[in-house]
Structure 1
């Protein structure tokens, strides 16, 4: 656990999350999820967290470990066809993690998700939060369209609006 990381987490406020993911950006993210889910039978959830709580930070919890917790807390794993995908952003670490249910992960693999995360992190470093998020959602949707094509009307199992933690 580095002192720089602790300071970043202490200084990253809820206000900073709301500024990076403005109401317009959150609406665009929700619309992108809704639009992409029309083309596949998967379920996508987008969650943003400003900083870790002090206990998690002192434990040295990684963004990946936290993303797995959020995957469970938001019940992304509880989709009917094991095809839920969480895109998790930890703003203080400037980290993006994708956690996919076992059905999807077996088909896409870690390499496929890491490429999407890296592209989103690059966009976020440039301040392009809306565009980075929407392009990341579209990239996830490409995988889901290949492996879980739409078969008629689908049930919306996860919220389309981004979750701010």
Structure 2
């Protein structure tokens, strides 16, 4: 299903990167890999965001990387809490970096760097005080 984009080992490693990125922050990060959708628009990503309950975190600080490798398409959605802190320019910069790396065929490295980078932003704006329950699963989802 993944074609030549990511190996199972790389997928497992991305899940570890998500766990590590979520340490010390209440933020949540998900990666969704879409192999079905033809249309390259944000609506599909928003539908996934909602379906994964990403708009239900306590501080509204979940971030979704919605990727379609075949279509060379990426949407990053940051919920209102994190978006208010980092502004659109942050997502634009991250999006440009990832798509430039995808163009070189660096799928795994680009996603891993983006996840860890997002984790640093989440730590900065949403540090953990006390308990830090994982509000959303770290597994990568597929459609």
Fold conserved between structures, TM > 0.5: yes
Aligned-pair Cα RMSD in Å = 1.4
Aligned residues: 143
Specify the structure having the higher radius of gyration (Cα). 1
Give the TM-score of the pair, scaled to structure 2: 0.92
Which runs of 5 or more residues in structure 1 are unaligned? Answer: 1-13
Shift of 1:134: 0.5
Superposed displacement of residue 112, structure 1? 0.5
Alignment deviations for residues 15-69 of structure 1 (CA, whole Å, 9 cap, x no partner): 42xx3121111111100000111121101111111231xxxx4xxx433221111
What's the CA shift for 1:114? 1.4
Q: Is the 8 A contact 2:40 2:71 kept in 1?
A: no
Please point out which of 125, 128, 143 is paired with 1:147: 125
| Aligned residue in 2 for 1:50 | 35
After TM superposition, the structure 1 = structure 2 runs for residues 7-86 of structure 1, keeping only pairs within 5 Å, are 14-16=1-3, 19-52=4-37, 57=38, 61-86=39-64
Alignment CA distance shift 1:77-1:128 (3 Å):
same
Large movers: runs of 4+ above 6 Å = none
Q: Name the structure with the higher helix share.
A: 1
From 95, 99, 111, give the equivalent of 1:133: 111
Provide, for residues 110-165 of structure 1, a one-character-per-residue CA deviation record: whole Å limited to 9, x for no partner: 11011111111111221211111100101211211111012233111112121122
Instruction: List gaps (5 residues or longer) in structure 2.
Output: none
Confirm whether residue 87 of structure 1 aligns to residue 75 of structure 2. no
- Is the 2:74–2:99 Cα contact (8 Å) retained in structure 1? yes
- Aligned with 2:30: secondary structure? strand
Provide the rounded CA distance (Å) in 2 between the counterparts of 1:152 and 1:144: 16
CA distance in 2, matches of 1:40, 1:88: 21
Q: Is the 8 A contact 2:40 2:73 kept in 1?
A: no
